[in-house]
Amino acid sequence: MTPRQRRMALVAGIVVGVSIAGALALSAFRENVTFFFDPTQVAAGEVLAGQRFRLGGMVTQGSVQRAAGSLEVRFVVTDFNHDVPVSYTGVLPDLFREGAGVVAHGRLRADGTFVADEVLAKHDEKYMPPEVARSLKRRHGEPRAAGAADTGAGTAAPPAGGPASAAGSAPSSPSGS
């Protein structure tokens, strides 16, 4: 084998190796990407049974059912046009309640029930996950809750130490005067 043939074989080996590594990285990335859908998109068939995704919306009033003696909870998530039943086994966040915004991670069963692995609730009364707020506003143009329509839905709270958190607040240093 001539030196030129060895160099070409080396270059070809490097190209094949980089291609395989890229394909493996892309495959791992696709498996770990979790898309967000609202109940209208789920009802429209945009999600396949068994596909992992995030479901967001509001917990329907009167829909929370707890199984006695277990951690199993069933509730319904709505975007005010369509509803998706959710089944979750585990401890719910403290702020989880009916009429509140929620994002659940999990899979859709063939019967249309969303089986959640994790449930996230909003962190205070003025916050809604940005994906949920955008989805509700884009699809329906409705205020998200009475009395909370003017709170800037879809925007996160200002960062700590920003102008909104500094106004009217006392210094946080432990040394008092």
Domains in the chain: how many in total? 1
Q: For residue 155, tell me if it sits in a domain.
A: no
Q: For residue 22, tell me if it sits in a domain.
A: no
Residue 113 CB burial class (10 angstroms; 0-12, 13-18, ≥19): middle
pLDDT at 80: 87
pLDDT tens per residue, range 56-83: 899 999 999 998 888 999 999 998 889 9
Q: For residue 94, tell me if it sits in a domain.
A: yes
**pLDDT tops 60 at residue 175:** no
| DSSP codes of every residue in 42-110 | HHTT-S-TT-EEEEEEEEPTT--EE-TTSSEEEEEEE-SS-EEEEEEESPPPTT--TTSEEEEEEEE-T
Q: For residue 149, tell me if it sits in a domain.
A: no
- pLDDT over 90 for what percent of the chain? 36
Q: For residue 175, tell me if it sits in a domain.
A: no
Lowest mean pLDDT among 86-100, 118-132, 142-156: 142-156
Q: For residue 134, tell me if it sits in a domain.
A: yes
Confidence class for position 51, pLDDT limits 50, 70, 90: confident
pLDDT tens per residue, range 88-108: 999 988 888 888 889 999 999
CATH of the domain at 91: 2.40.50.140
Show the domain range for 135: 35-141
Q: For residue 76, tell me if it sits in a domain.
A: yes
